Amino acid sequence: MQISLYLFLFPFLNLQHISNQSVRRAPWGVTILCTIILQAFLCLLLFSNVVLAENIKLDPLTVVSTRLDDEVANAPKNITIITSEQIEASPAKTIPELLSLEAGILSRSFFGNSAARSTIDIRGFGASSTQNTLILLDGRRLNNIDQSSINYAAIPIHNIERIEIIRGSGGVLYGDGAVGGAINIITKRAQAGEKSGVAKVSYGSYKTSQAEAILTLGTEKYGINIAANYIDSNGYRSNNELKQENIQTDIRRDFDRGELFIKAGASEQHLGLSGNRQVNPGANVNLLVTDRQGASTPKDFAKEDSYFLTLGSRQQFYKGVEAIIDFGYRFKNQKAFFDQSGFPSSLDSDFDTWSVTPRLSIDQTLVNLNHHITFGADVYYYNYDSNRSPTLATSNNPIHKLGVDQKTYALYFNDLIDITNSTHFELGARIQHVNLNAVDKVNRAAPGAFGTETKATDKSQNNTEEMYNLGIRHEFTNNVSVYGNIGRSVRFANVDDVYDGFSKFTLLNPQTANHFDIGVSINLEKVSASVSSYYMDLENEIHFNAAASTFGTNVNLDPTKREGIETTIELMPFTDFSIRGNYAYLVSEFDEGALAGNEVPLIPKHTASISANWNVNSVVTIASIWRYVGEKRFDNDQNNNFGQKIPDYHMWDLKLNGHYHGWATDVSLNNVLDEKAIDYAVRSTTTAGKYNAQPLPERNITLSVSYNFN
């Protein structure tokens, strides 16, 4: 046992890297690589044990689109699983609304329309939250290599099997960008013998209509799941209309010891961009009061067309040994037009993403210790072509044509070791190389050009970074456990980080973070609770600085930090009634330099939620949600001298559900108290007291009817 532990631990015994960055690059890269090679060798030992074993009996094949295994309860991390039953019971109508009910997770809605441009923020990254929270769909990355937000409206919420939330560094399993955490959305798949379908129609405030259809058929060998969704809404504000159509399918062929699968989907979206509501006390202007639902950009809009295809296979070679390999392709075209008071601009961008992600899952015993190992590689190729011109009509003859390609190669392993029945040790590491090439082609004779446009100098960058995690969980009893872990995460700059929009590429250093987490959980018959505390020490955080140049630019910051507490308690005093509460305290500050001690904008110190579900009888269910978001600094207020903050707010939502013989009717009332809230606002850097804000919808209602074919 001592030899086995030493073999696993020795690469991590020299942890001076955490406090002494000057010695990080050379020894740590070698350490990670050696550790991965060591794990490969240990995998061979495990294979040999299996091959020599007699009377092998294969375990039943369990298929999931995740890199978390069935031992998730033993992992020394703060992990939350949201089930399909919880999703159905919740008044939340969108994925961001649902996630914002969890401790330490914020959502920001820029247009208040079916989460079409919402962002998710884990552990406080403000305006750069999309680049620091990794979102995956069935294990495939949805984050782009630009700063565009994820289209959550394209994922049918009622076709979700579960959502896995990993707080803190998720870099070992999922790669760069999992700084605040990673969220993996797992969609439903057909089970053997299943024949079911759901049809649902909804209508609500702002002339919002929605239709959903899900069909699932399964036999012993074959399974298919098809989900389609349609949304048509005028939106809360003027020029806020949304039209969304999407379809997804999951087709599988099972074998005795494996399966083949195909996942595919397509989506179309048109969204009106209503702009901001301005408040300027010096000019006696307050559009949040006089014209809250108006539009400052009545001609602006964005369109998005996308599709994806994933092909894969899972094979069980021996008892406890599985191999998974999948190939993915995703295409997205984005078009946008900005009138800008008669000085128009547009972009027409294509994204191509190719990926190969083989991995090996091993559950075996070595030297009397149970190991749950994931060993794999990630290869991603991104291609980004963007035409910049005055109007979309001239996008085929653009003034600027940006071309960026990014290649990512990574090796990783993760091993959860059962030291005893009550003590579980986890270690993992990843080494990742990223190559980025950026080219700007200028046509000074293009329509709208002045003949003096400047070409951005072509740039190329190579970076290799390491990520790791090391943790332990101990169960004092069947009901009480504690955990602690340390880790390292990385974020690489994307195309919008390095291109400032004014004919200049500026290469940035990778952002790195060291993580420290501890936590305790208690699970009793009618009460469960958890408390976790964390600290993040970041270097070279990539951040937009409005004061760095005339129009602002992205920079590497001096060291910053995040620290906080996340708590959850759930009570079930009666069989038919449950109540759950979350609270998070977060400090997000600049740690050194001219801004030392200042708060990072857009991060509230206090957030909380309370949700309750009551099964009144076998037919009627009532659900209630209350959310609180504390005050926070305005965007662009890194100096903390604006003199005011974005106000705190609370929201109360209710849902009444009735179901009988396959039929179901829902009535959802959101923002019951008609709170006039904002969760995003940006200060002026030139006019005292002036700011632009994005208001959230006021009280609204949705009625829906569905039928479940079983």
Res. 27 pLDDT band, cuts 50 70 90: very low
Q: Residue 557: pLDDT above 50?
A: yes
**CA distances (Å), 282 to each of 141, 216, 279, 688, 689, in order?**
46, 60, 9, 8, 7
Q: What is the DSSP letter of 547?
A: T
Q: Report d(CA 404, CA 351) in Å as an integer.
A: 10
List strand residue ranges (DSSP E) for 575-662, in order: 577-590, 606-615, 620-629, 649-660
Determine which helix (DSSP H) or strand (DSSP E) holds 288, and give its type and residue range.
helix 287-290
Closest CA to 706 of 662, 655, 668: 662
CA–CA gap between residue 109 and residue 97 (Å, rounded): 9
pLDDT over 70 at 246, yes or no:
yes
CA nearest neighbour of 351 among 144, 141, 156: 144
Cβ-based neighbours of 344, under 8 Å, separated by 6 or more: 337, 338, 390, 391
Using a 10 angstrom Cβ sphere, with 0-12 exposed, 13-18 middle and 19 or more buried, the burial of residue 542 is buried
In tens, the pLDDT along 90-130 reads 888 899 999 999 999 999 887 656 677 789 999 999 889 99
Q: How much is the average pLDDT of 664-687?
A: 94
**Span of 6-10, 78-82, 135-139 with lowest mean pLDDT:** 6-10
d(CA 631, CA 648): 4
Residue among 649, 602, 603, 656 nearest 626 (CA): 649
Q: Domain extents for the chain?
A: 9-709
The Cα–Cα gap between 513 and 559 comes to 10
pTM for this predicted structure: 0.88
Specify the range with the lowest mean pLDDT, choosing from 74-78, 223-227, 280-284: 74-78
Query: Measured between alpha carbons, how far is 148 from 126 in angstroms, rounded to an integer?
Result: 15
Q: Distance between CA 323 and CA 321 in Å, rounded?
A: 7
> How far is the C-alpha of 8 from the C-alpha of 4, rounded, in Å?
6
What does the CA dihedral 89, 92, 93, 96 come to, rounded to 10 degrees?
A: -130
Q: Is the pLDDT of residue 16 over 60?
A: no
Cβ-in-10-Å burial (0-12, 13-18, 19+) of 170 comes to buried
Q: Find, among 264, 223, 233, the residue nearest to 247 by Cα.
A: 264
User: From 3.40.640.10, 2.40.170.20, 3.30.830.10, 2.40.37.10, which CATH number describes the 9-709 domain?
Assistant: 2.40.170.20
Stretch among 61-70, 275-284, 443-452 having the lowest mean pLDDT: 61-70
pLDDT above 90 covers what percent of the chain? 75
Give the C-alpha separation, 65 to 138, whole Å: 5
**Please, what is the average pLDDT of the chain?**
88
Task: Using alpha carbons, select from 88, 57, 115, 335 the residue that is nearest to residue 188.
Answer: 88
> pLDDT tens across 395-405, in order?
899 999 999 99
pLDDT in tens, 602-652: 999 999 999 999 999 999 999 999 999 999 999 999 999 999 999 999 999
